[in-house]
Each structure stands twice: as structure tokens, then as C-alpha cells.
Amino acid sequence: MATFDVKPSSNRKPAGKAEAPNEPFKRAIASCTRAMARDRELEIAFTADKPALVRGPEGARARLPEPPRKPNPREAAILRGLADSMALRLACHNEAIHRRYAPLDPASRALFDAVEQTRVEAIGARRMEGVASNLTAMLDDRYHRSPFAQARDRDEAPLEDAVAMLVRESTTHDAVLQVVKQTKPANLETVELFDVFRGKNVPEGQKSLAYAFTYRAADKTLTDAEVNAAHAKVVDAFKAQLKATVRE
């Protein structure tokens, strides 16, 4: 007698190849980048090549690093920062105007380009807290990888990077100015950011900002006690609201 091996049939479709764990993250990055750039057709590729943004006759193409299979929060923020930087360049930069005013000297052109990139990034950072956080992560990573990390003094830092950092800090330090505005110290005339430093003796991920506060009264000469009392309010507010370490 013949025997038959009969197995129950199923109408379920065979399972397809499982997608990589980082695919949803990549789709989210691509969607946010296109939305911020205001370009639905923006071509975005994740590769092992150096990140780049290219504009051509057929449209813009953004090349971003391939993220790890399971990126940690820092890795995710750095990649978001790169994408945000490119999106802001597309949304806020006018290539024709930039080309019209760009200097011919290569060193001056590098400086001009760096400040322009800082300007477009500052627009996004000032309007969106998440973008500001992403850009900070990206820039911290970039400067730790750049000659800044090996610089023994300020003269060794690339000029365009140093100037861009100063411009960036001066256009994105709204939190500091907001605290000063809320505190309303008596007879405060001006607040000026004049130095930014990352490196030796500054914890990783942090920066040192140097400000000049000018106090002046129109009708009298202020005493040291009056200036110190007004400034103490600002210092206390920085410590309480920004969790800042203030060197006096």
C-alpha cells in the first residue's frame, strides 16, 4: 500500500526579508530633511562616503553617513545635525546672491562660506530647539575630529572654523540674553559675547563663554557696591536657570 505525506496548506504569503533595524530611523531622517528643505524631490542617500550636499540641473542630492544598526542617542543626534545642516542650507541659502558677493581670494572665500553656513544654521537653531540640539551634537563631534582637538593655542585653529564658531555662538546665545532680560539688572547698558573656548580644562561637551557687561548711569557715577549688587543678580540667575558655572 502506498503511503502519502500530506501537510496542511496555508494561504499565508512567505515572509519577506526583514528590514535592517536602522531603516525606520533612516526613513524618519529623510522625511524630516525633505520637509525642512522644502524639497519633496530631494534625493537622500546613506553611504560610507564623506557627507556632502550637491546641487545640479536635476535637483539637489544629499549624502549622509550610513547610521549604525542601532544608533545610540549621541550617534542619532550627530546624524540628525548633519541632515538639519544640509536642509537649512537648501531652505535658507541663495546661491546667486552668495556667488555675487563672494571674494575671489581662496582664504577669504573659505571664511565667507563658513560664515554663511553658520548663518543658515543659526536660523534653524533659533526657531527650533530640537534642531539647535542636533546641530550642537554635530558641531561638537566635528570640532573634536578637527585640528581644534590638537591645537595648543588659538593661533593653530583654522581661521574659518574659529570665526564660524564665534559667529555661531553670537547668534545662538539667546538663552543667556533672555536670562539677562528677565533679571533686569539696574543700570546695565550692554552685554557682549567676546570669546568662546572648547578644549583644555573645559569638560567634553561643554564650552566656555566670556561676556563683557557694561554698567552705566546717565546721572551719576556708579559705585562698586551698586555695580556688584546688580551683577550679582545676573550671576545668581545664570546659576539657577542655566545651571552654569560662573567664574567671577
pLDDT tens digits, residue range 188-201? 998 887 776 666 66
pLDDT for residue 198: 64
* pLDDT(154) > 70: no
Distance CA 175, CA 237 (A): 11
- Per-residue pLDDT, 53: 92
For 177-224, strand residue ranges (E) read 188-197, 208-215
pLDDT at 104 over 80: yes
Q: Single out the residue of 79, 41, 84 nearest to residue 60, CA to CA.
A: 41
Residues 234 and 213 sit within 8 Å (Cβ to Cβ): yes
Contact criterion met (CB below 8 Å) for 34 and 62? no
Contacts for 30-35: CB closer than 8 Å, 24+ residues apart = 32/80, 32/83, 32/84, 32/87, 33/62, 33/83, 33/84, 33/86, 33/87, 34/87
Residues 6+ apart with CB under 8 A from 231: 185, 213, 215
149 contacts: CB under 8 Å, gap ≥ 6? 143, 199
CA distances from 225 to 183, 190, 201 (A): 18, 19, 32
Q: What is the pLDDT of residue 4?
A: 44
- pLDDT category at 82 given cuts 50, 70, 90 is very high
Categorize the per-residue pLDDT at 155 as very low, low, confident or very high, splitting at 50, 70 and 90.
low
Nearby residues of 20 by Cβ (< 8 Å), 6 or more positions away: 69
Q: pLDDT tens-digit profile of 115-137? A: 888 889 888 887 887 888 898 88
Mean pLDDT estimate for the chain: 81
pLDDT tens-digit readout, 30-61: 999 999 999 999 999 999 899 999 988 888 99
Superfamily of domain 173-248 in CATH is Ferrodoxin-fold anticodon-binding domain (3.30.70.380)
CA angle (83, 85, 88) in 5-degree steps? 105
**Which of the two residues, 186 and 174, has the higher pLDDT score?**
186
| Torsion sign, CA atoms 117, 122, 125, 127 | negative
- What cell numbers appear for 115 in the block? 560664515
Q: Where are the domains of the chain?
A: 21-170, 173-248
Q: How far is CA 44 from CA 72, 169, 203, in A?
A: 22, 29, 35
Q: CA torsion angle for 136, 139, 140, 144 (degrees, to 10)?
A: 180
Residues 45 and 62 sit within 8 Å (Cβ to Cβ): yes
